[in-house]
Amino acid sequence: MGLLHRFILASFCLMAAVLMSSCRLQEARTGEQWFNHAWSGLAGVDALTFQGKAALWRGEQGVLEQNLSYSGRLDDHHRLTMRTVIAEGGAGSKGSLLASGTHLGGKYETKLVAQGRRWHIVSDEESLGKGLARLNPLEQLEHIRNARKSIKLESGAARGTKVLRIELDAADAQALIGSELEEEMKQVRQKWESKLAKLQNAERAKLASQSEQIWSAGNKQLAEMLNQAEIQAVYHLTVNSKTGLPMRLTSESRIAYLSPQGVPQQEMLRTDNRFADYK
C-alpha cells in the first residue's frame, strides 16, 4: 500500500474515531447538561419564531375555561412581538389568559423588550399584558434556568432529538407564580396612578384614597391565597441533538388553593410552544 493510500486510510480512521467519540459524548450528557447546552445555543440566537397554544382548566372535573393560540417573533435578540388569538373555550373565554394590548381585528398584539433578563412590555401604556409572562416561552426558559429543579432524560425520544422532563422545586414554582401575579398587581397600580395624575386635585385625592384601599385589600388577599397554595410545575423540552437548539417546550402548572370564602379551588394551565426560523 502506497504512502498516499495509508495517509487516506489513517485520516478516515481518525475521522471515524472523532465521530464515534462525539456520539459517545452526546450520549453521556446528563439532562442538566443538555439543558445548559440548549440554553447556550439559544443565547447566541438573534432571531426566531414560535407558535404556541395555551389552555386553562378549573375545578376537580377539569372544566375548560379558556383556550387560545399565539405566536411570537424575536428580532435583534431582545425585541419580541407576540400575538394572541382567542380560540374555542368555555363561558369564561375572555378570562385571565387574554393578554391586553393593541387590538388588531380579533388579535391582540404586544411588543416586549428584554432588559436585565426580564421581558418588559413597551407597546403602549394601556397594555398590561395579563398572563403574557406565563405564555412567553423565552421567559419560561429563563425561569427554568434560575430555579431549583430536577431534569431527567425521557426515553423513546424521536431520532435526532432529546426530550428533557423538568420539574421545578415546589417552593420555586410557588415563588415564580407569586412573582408574576405580584408584578401584574404592580402594573394595575401604576395604571390607575397614571390616570389619577390627570385629574383635578380634589377629585384626585378622593379617588386616590378609595383606589388605595381597594388595591391594598386585593393585594393582601392575593398574598394570603399564595401562602396557602400548592403548586406543581412540570416542563418538557425537546432539543435538536445536532444543533443543540430547543424545538418544543410544553408546560403543565397545577395550582390548588382556597378562595377568599375558604372553598378549595383547582386550576391547571398547559402551554405548548414550537420553535422555528432560527437565525
What percent of the chain clears pLDDT 70, i.e. is strictly above it? 78
C-alpha cell at 185: 398587581
Q: Is the dihedral of CA 8, 11, 15, 16 positive or negative?
A: positive
Do 114 and 80 meet the contact criterion of CB atoms below 8 Å apart?
yes
pLDDT digits (tens, 9 = 90+) for 126-143: 544 555 656 899 989 999
Q: Which of 171-175, 221-225, 251-255 has the lowest mean pLDDT?
A: 221-225
Instruction: Taking residues 9-32, report their average pLDDT.
Output: 57
pLDDT at 181: 81
Instruction: Taking residues 56-85, report their average pLDDT.
Output: 90
Mean pLDDT for all residues in the chain: 82
Which band of pLDDT confidence, cut at 50, 70 and 90, is reported for residue 251?
Answer: very high
What is the SS3 assignment for 210-223?
Answer: HHHHHHHHHHHHHH
pLDDT digits (tens, 9 = 90+) for 215-241: 899 888 888 888 889 999 999 999 999
Which segments of 147-268 does DSSP mark as H helices, in order? 170-196, 201-228
- pTM equals 0.80
Instruction: Show Cβ contacts of residue 31 under 8 Å, excluding neighbours closer than 6 positions.
Output: 151, 152, 153, 164, 165, 166
pLDDT at 204: 83
Helix 170-196 vs helix 201-228: crossing angle, to nearest 10: 170
pLDDT digits (tens, 9 = 90+) for 74-123: 999 999 999 887 554 444 444 456 544 555 656 778 888 998 778 887 77
pLDDT at 16: 44
pLDDT at 17: 45
